[in-house]
C-alpha cells in the first residue's frame, strides 16, 4: 500500500466514526412534555414522553411535587416504540393549592430523568 492509499483509508474511517458518534449523542435518554403551562384546579395535565434506549420491563416513574410535598406518583411502561403518556387530574385534594408543581420523570436509574414545571391557578393560596 502506498502512502496516498493509507491516508485515504484513514480519512474514510475518521469520517465514518464521526457519523456514528453524532448519532449516539442525538438520542435523548428521556424527554417529557405537557399539554400546557398553566392549569386550573379542574383540568387534566397530559404528560407525553419518549425514552431513547428502551429496556424491556423497565417502567418510567413520574413524580409530581408541589408546595406541600409529593402529590402523586405514577409508573408507566413505555410502548415498544419508547413512547408513554400519563394523565394527571388537578382536581385532586393534594393539588388544591395555587403555585408551581414539578413533574419529574425517571427511567431506570435516577440519572435518566427530565423535569417540567406547571402552574396551577384559581384555587387556594398555600398556608390558608
User: b/e per residue, 78-114, with b = 16+ CB within 10 A?
Assistant: beeebebebebebeeeebbbbbebebbbbbbeeebbb
The C-alpha atoms of residue 42 and residue 116 are separated, in whole angstroms, by 20
Residue 68 has pLDDT above 50, yes or no: yes
Residue 22 has pLDDT above 50, yes or no: no
Rounded (10°) CA dihedral 90, 96, 100, 102 = -50
Half-sphere exposure of 62 (CA within 13 A, CB side): 27
What integer pLDDT is reported at residue 93 of this predicted model? 93
Structure-model confidence comparison of residues 61 and 109, the more confident one:
61
What integer pLDDT is reported at residue 23 of this predicted model? 44
The pTM of the full predicted model, rounded to 2 decimals, is: 0.77
H-helix or E-strand containing 17?
A: helix 3-26
pLDDT digits (tens, 9 = 90+) for 92-127: 999 999 999 999 999 987 789 999 999 999 988 876
Amino acid at each position: 500500500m502506498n502512502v496516498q492509499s493509507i491516508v485515504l483509508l484513514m480519512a474514510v474511517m475518521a469520517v465514518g466514526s464521526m457519523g456514528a458518534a453524532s448519532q449516539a449523542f442525538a438520542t435523548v435518554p428521556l424527554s417529557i412534555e405537557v399539554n400546557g403551562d398553566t392549569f386550573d384546579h379542574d383540568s387534566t395535565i397530559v404528560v407525553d414522553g419518549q425514552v431513547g434506549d428502551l429496556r424491556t420491563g423497565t417502567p418510567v416513574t413520574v413524580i409530581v411535587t408541589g408546595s406541600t410535598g409529593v402529590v402523586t406518583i405514577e409508573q408507566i411502561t413505555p410502548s415498544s416504540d419508547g413512547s408513554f403518556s400519563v394523565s394527571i387530574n388537578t382536581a385532586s385534594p393534594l393539588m388544591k393549592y395555587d403555585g408551581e408543581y414539578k413533574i419529574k420523570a425517571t427511567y431506570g436509574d435516577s440519572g435518566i430523568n427530565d423535569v417540567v414545571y406547571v402552574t396551577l391557578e384559581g384555587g387556594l393560596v398555600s398556608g390558608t
